[in-house]
Structure 1
Amino acid sequence: MQPLSDALASFWQIWSPMLILDVGRYLVAACGLALILKLFWNAGLSRRKIQARWASRSDVRREIVTSLRTGVIFSLNGAAIVYGAMNGIFTIYTDFDKAGVGYLVLSVVAIIVAHDAYFYWTHRLMHLPRLYPYFHRTHHRSVAPTPFAAYAFDIPEAFLMAAFTPLWLLFVPMHGLGLFLFMAFMIVRNVMGHAGVELMPRALADSRWFGWINATTHHDLHHATFHHNYGLYFTWWDRMMGTEHPRYREQLRGRPADGAAVAADSAARSAAVAS
């Protein structure tokens, strides 16, 4: 029994920091943004609410429970990455002698761009009728999402999302700080996308230089209409593939959407969620 006990102790020593990190970053980001929304609601954020609909308390409870479950799955994936690095499968370094600050910056930019592409295509894949009920239905139960919906995934979706980082590390060495910055960026942008309140400048709708950055309205429309806006950080894949919502930029400018069109979108979304 001693070898088993030693193995479990070794596993816990590696897994427990990952559990604290993955669950902790979700709680800090989601609770932090929820607090900001509450504190500044009467100072102007109320005018930036995207949908008229509100999430119910049961919606929020479901989002928190499923997101915490995803955090546990992500932490197991993190432990597997640590084991892989210890055994030479992945290259994760902690000093700058191996590669300088320039490589750190470049690798962080590259992993964010690659993750956006991975998310777009796996997201579209999960919307296929045969896969949707098993992979993505839980996330779309949040019609009017809150920051707590950031990780509200079905178990297969959580594993699919977790798979990106080890796949990336098979080919690209990363500094530990670079991985931390990527994970921090990912959860911050994720909770912002589910805020239910437009947190980005409305000028993004018409910006020549920054219009490729997703605003909160971009992902909120995906929850409200189901069939558009599959990107996570950037709009370019949706633009190239013709999947950007036709009224995204109009709504981002703060103009009310056409009621009949919204009703049709909502009906299509409800039918898809129920299927």
Structure 2
Amino acid sequence: MIDSLPPLAILLEKGPAIFAFDFGRYFVAAGVTSAIVWGLRRSSIAARKIQTREATAADKRREFAQSLQTVGVYLFVSLFIIWGVDTGVLHRFQGSYGVWGDAALLAAIIVAHDAYFYWAHRAMHHPKLFRHFHRAHHRSITPTPWAAYSFAIPEAFVMILFVPIWLFFVATPVWVMFLWINFQIIRNAMGHAGFELHPRWWLSTPLTRWINTTTHHDLHHAGGFNSNYGLYFTWWDKWMGTEHPRYAERFHEVVREVAVPQAGGEMTETISLHSVQPSRS
């Protein structure tokens, strides 16, 4: 064990930088995804919007405020993570296992985090936990990318707890953790985009059909609260029988191209729109 600053001293020394970094990656991921959706909604594939309901300005303000709160929770826990690393309780180092070793470790983090998220997420839907942990996030019936970190304080603690658990068991290079946390927030923002961002062949190939789409998580928000708990992949939902029964059908409805007649008899390609009407139950 080595000498270490106490968490309060770490807060004073590194707190502003930690907060700026974590808020910055949330703001960039949500902001860029929102900008992409804004552009796509004005393009020829505008009907890839998954729900007919529109998120209000109040919805977006609430999502942003709750995400800012989550960043505050992450800052608090990060102080103890840094303290744990400095004292040797948690394991992180500046070296590398080599390109292939680091790549394998990054893949392992993603797979492990997906399993953690599935089971933690599913647990928070238990009637005795939902109100206190997860109801705040489900106020976003029609989510936007700003909902990526829109958690109640207890849920925010559950979400960040994966990091010290992982670092307790696995010595992980700094750059691998950096890649993972940025991959995580980008995928999270995409999952809440409200607009299908994946190509229409996504569920038709064995290499991509097990990777979550925006439709997959949107169905969870729109009323299928007891289905589609996964974050990055669909396999836990398939194995546990919790995948929404209309997931594949709904995805193909959103991305399907149909020919429609235009003025003068010409035929133009567009997207069909048979949006799920969200339930407030």
TM-score by length of 1: 0.89
Other structure's SS at 2:243 match? coil
Compared with structure 1, are the counterparts of its residues 188 and 258 closer, same or farther at alpha carbon in structure 2 (3 Å cutoff)?
closer
**TM-fit CA distance, 1:10:** 4.0
Supply the distance in 2 between the matched residues of 1:144 and 1:7 (Cα, whole angstroms).
Answer: 38
What amino acid does structure 2 have at the position aligned with 1:245? H
What amino acid does structure 2 have at the position aligned with 1:232? L
Supply the distance in 1 between the matched residues of 2:209 and 2:8 (Cα, whole angstroms).
Answer: 49
Q: 5 Å matches for 1:200-239?
A: 200-225=198-223, 226-239=225-238
Residues 49-77 of structure 1: CA deviation (Å, up to 9, x unaligned): 00000101111110000001001111222
Match of 2:53 in 1: 53
Q: 5 Å matches for 1:123-134?
A: 123-134=121-132
**TM-fit CA distance, 1:22:** 1.0
What amino acid does structure 2 have at the position aligned with 1:131? L
Compared with structure 1, are the counterparts of its residues 84 and 44 closer, same or farther at alpha carbon in structure 2 (3 Å cutoff)?
farther
Q: 2:170 aligns with which of 169, 172, 182?
A: 172
Is 1:93 paired with 2:93?
Answer: yes
Supply the distance in 2 between the matched residues of 1:190 and 1:148 (Cα, whole angstroms).
Answer: 10
Compared with structure 1, are the counterparts of its residues 45 and 151 closer, same or farther at alpha carbon in structure 2 (3 Å cutoff)?
farther
**TM-fit CA distance, 1:100:** 1.9
**TM-fit CA distance, 1:9:** 4.8
Contact 1:139–1:154 (CA<8 Å) still a contact in 2?
yes
Greater mean alpha carbon deviation, residues 124-133 or residues 13-22: 13-22
Greater mean alpha carbon deviation, residues 197-206 or residues 11-20: 11-20
Contact 1:189–1:233 (CA<8 Å) still a contact in 2?
yes
Q: 5 Å matches for 1:119-198?
A: 119-198=117-196
Contact 1:230–1:238 (CA<8 Å) still a contact in 2?
yes
Residues 150-193 of structure 1: CA deviation (Å, up to 9, x unaligned): 01101100000010010011101100000000000000000000
Contact 1:116–1:231 (CA<8 Å) still a contact in 2?
yes
Contact 2:7–2:80 (CA<8 Å) still a contact in 1?
no
**TM-fit CA distance, 1:7:** 7.6
Supply the distance in 1 between the matched residues of 2:54 and 2:273 (Cα, whole angstroms).
Answer: 17
**TM-fit CA distance, 1:207:** 2.0
Supply the distance in 2 between the matched residues of 1:10 and 1:42 (Cα, whole angstroms).
Answer: 46
Compared with structure 1, are the counterparts of its residues 36 and 11 closer, same or farther at alpha carbon in structure 2 (3 Å cutoff)?
same
Q: 5 Å matches for 1:13-32?
A: 13-32=13-32
Supply the distance in 1 between the matched residues of 2:170 and 2:244 (Cα, whole angstroms).
Answer: 34
Contact 1:30–1:148 (CA<8 Å) still a contact in 2?
yes
Other structure's SS at 2:190 match? helix
Compared with structure 1, are the counterparts of its residues 165 and 240 closer, same or farther at alpha carbon in structure 2 (3 Å cutoff)?
same
**TM-fit CA distance, 1:251:** 1.1
Q: Gapped runs of 5+ residues in structure 2? A: 1-5, 255-271
Q: Indicate the percent of aligned positions where both proteins have the same amino acid.
A: 47
Compared with structure 1, are the counterparts of its residues 46 and 86 closer, same or farther at alpha carbon in structure 2 (3 Å cutoff)?
same
Residues 176-233 of structure 1: CA deviation (Å, up to 9, x unaligned): 0000000000000000000000001121222222110000000000000222100000
**TM-fit CA distance, 1:15:** 2.1
Contact 2:48–2:273 (CA<8 Å) still a contact in 1?
no
Supply the distance in 2 between the matched residues of 1:239 and 1:122 (Cα, whole angstroms).
Answer: 17
Let me know the Cα RMSD of the aligned residues.
1.9
Q: Gapped runs of 5+ residues in structure 1? A: 1-5
Structure (1/2) with the larger helix percentage = 1
**TM-fit CA distance, 1:39:** 2.8
Count residues in correspondence.
Answer: 258
Higher relative contact order (CA 8 A, sep 6+): 2
